[in-house]
Amino acid sequence: DGGITQSPKYLFRKEGQNVTLSCEQNLNHDAMYWYRQDPGQGLRLIYYSQIVNDFQKGDIAEGYSVSREKKESFPLTVTSAQKNPTAFYLCASSKEGQHEIPSGRNTEAFFGQGTRLTVV
């Protein structure tokens, strides 16, 4: 089955430790995204990548880092610099990446199940 997989589903870390969240897709999608979801805040974009070996900061990139060495994988590292890391993290992918046409065709986002990170 094609899909997008996030792991783990729940993650607990001590304050001050870096932690990496996994996101893998086998949909052959060019674009991948990381969102953070807090109660009442909706989905806020952390980083996105439209093509391998390239990524851009989203609205709340501070304290996070990403890499896109393979088309299938877009891991997110939550660093100790992130002041309030406890949240629900969602990874998404869409078929089209950099060479969009203005109508946005093929930009439907497929989401993973999410990782709930708790920092204690």
Partner 1 sequence: GQQVMQIPQYQHVQEGEDFTTYCNSSTTLSNIQWYKQRPGGHPVFLIQLVKSGEVKKQKRLTFQFGEAKKNSSLHITATQTTDVGTYFCAGGLYSGAGSYQLTFGKGTKLSVIP
**Closer by beta carbon to partner 1, 17 or else 28:** 28
Interface pick for partner 1 out of 32, 33, 68, 119 (rule CB under 8 A)? 33
Stretches 13-21, 32-40, 61-69, 71-79: which one binds partner 1 (CB under 8 A)?
Answer: 32-40
Applying the rule CB under 8 A, the residues between 87 and 106 that interact with partner 1 are 90, 92, 94, 96, 98-105
Give the side-chain half-sphere CA count within 13 A for 102.
0
Q: Which H, E and C letters describe 57-86, residue by residue?
A: ECCCCCCEEECCCECCECCEEECCCCCCCC
Tell me how many residues contact partner 1 (CB under 8 A).
33
Tokens of 49: 């990548």
- Asked if residue 59 binds partner 1 (CB under 8 A), the reply is yes
Amino acid symbol at 5 = T
